[in-house]
Amino acid sequence: MRKNKYPYFKEGFLWAGAQAASQADGAYTQDGKKPNSSDVQPYLKGLSNMEIQHLEQEGMKIEQVKKALLDTEHFYPKRHGIDFYNSYEKDLEMLAETGMKAFRTSIDWSRVFPNGDEMLPNEAALEHYEKMIDKIREVGMEPIITMLHYEMPIHLTLEYGGWTNKAVIELFVRYGKVLLERFGQKVKYWIVINQINMIQVEPFLSLGICSNQYENIEEAEYQAVHNQMVASSMIQQYAKTLNIPNLQVGTMVADGTAYPASCKPDDVTLALWHNRMQYLFTDVQFRGEYPQVALNYFKEHDLKINMTDEELMLLRENPMDYLAISYYFSQMVDADKNGYIPYDITTNPYLEANPWGWNIDSKGLYHTLSQYWDRYQKPILIAENGFGMYDELVSGKVHDGYRSDYLGAHIEQVGRAIYDGAEVIAYCAWGPIDIVSCSSQQMSKRYGFIYVDIDDEGNGSRQRLKKDSFAWYQKVIETNGAEI
């Protein structure tokens, strides 16, 4: 532990942890659940981390999805998770020992509406999630609930074409209304859609569309995210009619802003353009309109996005209450290597990376928090920040000082951003208990303060063991960030 140079966390700051139902719950066929987008992703043994990441960006083809639903050859880790669906009481009690003030998780759409297009929700799922939320509150943590974290019913992909189909807006809003009506009095903080800007990084998980489902896939992606933002505004509009005190509905992005490779004007100009294209998602949801640079891009690339006047008015009149951000690494663009193409980035030679190629850059978190605060002046909730690494279990112990070092450096930059004016209300360490990796389907890519004895192929005792970082996070919370 060391003293934080920037210990500027207000009383009541929400020190927290975050996970997703799709990566933790398991219980694939329990209580009427049907397959979702995460359930059809197999663990592909023998591939390198870079090969796995490339497949994630490619997405899935329709025939791959259909094959996965019948496949008995491969192991599908997210169908099993860590069985949080059944072990949540003990897991939450253990997590509460850190002193965490809040806990973020998601509700699985494919449990509440198993096919996605039913008229009535699955009561067994609602009863389960009510008990889970009650338990979060019972152990002294504020529930932060995500409505959609890569759990789209696969039926909506195969029969509707995913979020590109405007009919899905109504289906999702029906689901969102059910959650607000059932849990709105117990849950203050809602994130409508996880990382809504990941449309070309995790297109299948983010949008529920297959890579060969549309002739112009980029057009389909931007149409899909437009529909998601419209649905978010409709849910926000409905939330206000409930007149529930302190109810907050937020949007979430993964930080995608980039540094210029140098002070060369071409690099600086490309970085400016890149960042404006990243801000389009939050511009729409906070300013209520598309930035001109995005409209220009759509026109220049002949992307015809169906936006009705009614939808645009809805977006203007129903901005989100707060911004949730996930941050793991920073990005860079180089005019000699990258073009005016969203998500076209290059490696920063000044930074080290973890085994999955994720750059380690704590100051990048200060940068993104400050930029988003300056742009919107909206409260910011850090929804995810964590360090994926191979952990070694030796004699029942995991000595993960590398994790504490990473998180401590990032927490210090959060304090610095607060010192310089940003209103940051929460810090959610990603994966406070080991879960299946979203991007690689691996258990061996671990983030937690608690080790879960399961390997990449689902073998293990399921035992939970505290890592060294568990006691470290306890101290961080005990001192309200003064010691890291």
CATH code for the domain in which residue 182 is found? 3.20.20.80
Asked whether residue 1 is domain-assigned, the answer is no
* Over residues 131-147, mean pLDDT: 98
pLDDT tens digit sequence for 452-463:
999 999 999 999
Asked whether residue 58 is domain-assigned, the answer is yes
Predicted confidence at residue 182, as pLDDT, reads 97
Which of residues 452 and 355 earns the better pLDDT score? 452
Predicted confidence at residue 49, as pLDDT, reads 76
Predicted confidence at residue 51, as pLDDT, reads 79
Asked whether residue 40 is domain-assigned, the answer is yes
Predicted confidence at residue 130, as pLDDT, reads 98
Which of residues 59 and 157 earns the better pLDDT score? 157
Three-class HEC string of the chain: CCECCCCCCCCCCEEEEECCHHHHCCCCCHHHCCCEHHHHCCECCCCCHHHHHHHHHHCCCHHHHHHHHHCCCCECHHHCCCCHHHHHHHHHHHHHCCCCCEEEEECCHHHHCCCCCCCCCCHHHHHHHHHHHHHHHHCCCEEEEEEECCCCEHHHHHHHCHHHCCHHHHHHHHHHHHHHHHHCCCCCEEEEECCCCCCCCCHHHHHCCCCCCCCCHHHHHHHHHHHHHHHHHHHHHHHHHCCCCCCEEEEEEECCCEEECCCCHHHHHHHHHHHHHHHHHHHHHHHCCCCHHHHHHHHHCCCCCCCCHHHHHHHHHCCCCEEEEECCCCEEECCCCCCCCCCCCECCCCCCECCCCCECCHHHHHHHHHHHHHHHCCCEEEEEECCCECCCCECCECCCHHHHHHHHHHHHHHHHHHHCCCCEEEEEEECCECCCCCCCCCCCCECCCEEECCCCCCCCCCCEEECHHHHHHHHHHHCCCCEC
Asked whether residue 6 is domain-assigned, the answer is no
Q: Give me the number of domains the chain comprises.
A: 1
Predicted confidence at residue 206, as pLDDT, reads 95
Asked whether residue 7 is domain-assigned, the answer is no
Asked whether residue 8 is domain-assigned, the answer is no
Residue 50 has pLDDT above 80, yes or no: no
At 200, the pLDDT band (50, 70, 90 cuts) reads confident
Predicted confidence at residue 335, as pLDDT, reads 97
Tell me the pLDDT of the chain averaged across its residues: 96
* Over residues 45-71, mean pLDDT: 85
pLDDT tens digit sequence for 389-412:
999 999 999 999 999 999 999 999
pLDDT tens digit sequence for 225-269:
999 999 999 999 999 999 999 999 999 999 999 999 999 999 999
Asked whether residue 3 is domain-assigned, the answer is no
Range of 180's domain?
A: 14-478
Asked whether residue 93 is domain-assigned, the answer is yes
